[in-house]
Structure 1
């Protein structure tokens, strides 16, 4: 049964769904394909909204509940849009005693965000984690995969400016 809402036509014309079709086709007949497909889909869309999860479920012939169960279980998957630059402050013991809590507070203030939120322009997301594994550089935060260590509270505005400038230079 098909609907008359033309949603499938819109998906066929969306290059992201075309790319997702290729990903699903590549992994479709492999055991344990769900997690790699979800990782690649999140790379394409930036997050995994219900619409994408449903599309993957149909493509892999899995129940939507199974796809959602995996997405909601693993912290690396997100169902909400994230910024281009994800500031992830380590709040583990070594970093926290070295001041990561104050760095987090400064980021909240400077970006106008709380943990888990994204700026209106889609540029920054603020997150916290338990340990980055770089305790010798405490306090630490990562921006995407880049580690910034031995930070001080007054480094926060400089870091934000660095990534804003990077964005401005990239868009020219």
Structure 2
């Protein structure tokens, strides 16, 4: 993740500011979990708040506080903070669903929807079809938990009027 207009995710990651890694001054490691903090820097009662970050070193537990020095320069926005997530998980998904005898369009539409939703490459999908039941075997890498992935697949199937027979995520 780099140069994106969103907050740092509170996940184990490496953080850079202007492409320089954030290094712990206590133990010299560079793996952190960043958290967004709102700080009232004006007089009490004015309620003007600024966003700061506190990152917790995953080796020694020391907290490091920093801001986002991103700024405009000659009509161009210069991104300062970059985050490189470490904990991307891989999943194997097996989906069995009912299709009619002449309804290969359902398989194609559902496959294309999963490719779009999860950013899957076609080589990571195996399709088999037997007696009105299609089975997809998919390999994905995602930051999401199993329950979130299951919900996304079920919602995609529901929108396409597909009845899921079996859904396994490992």
The TM-score bracket by the shorter chain reads under 0.3
Structure of greater Rg: 2
Structure with more of its chain in helix, by fraction: 1
Normalising by the residue count of structure 2, what TM-score does the alignment of the two structures yield? 0.23
Normalising by the residue count of structure 1, what TM-score does the alignment of the two structures yield? 0.23
Structure with more of its chain in strand, by fraction: 2
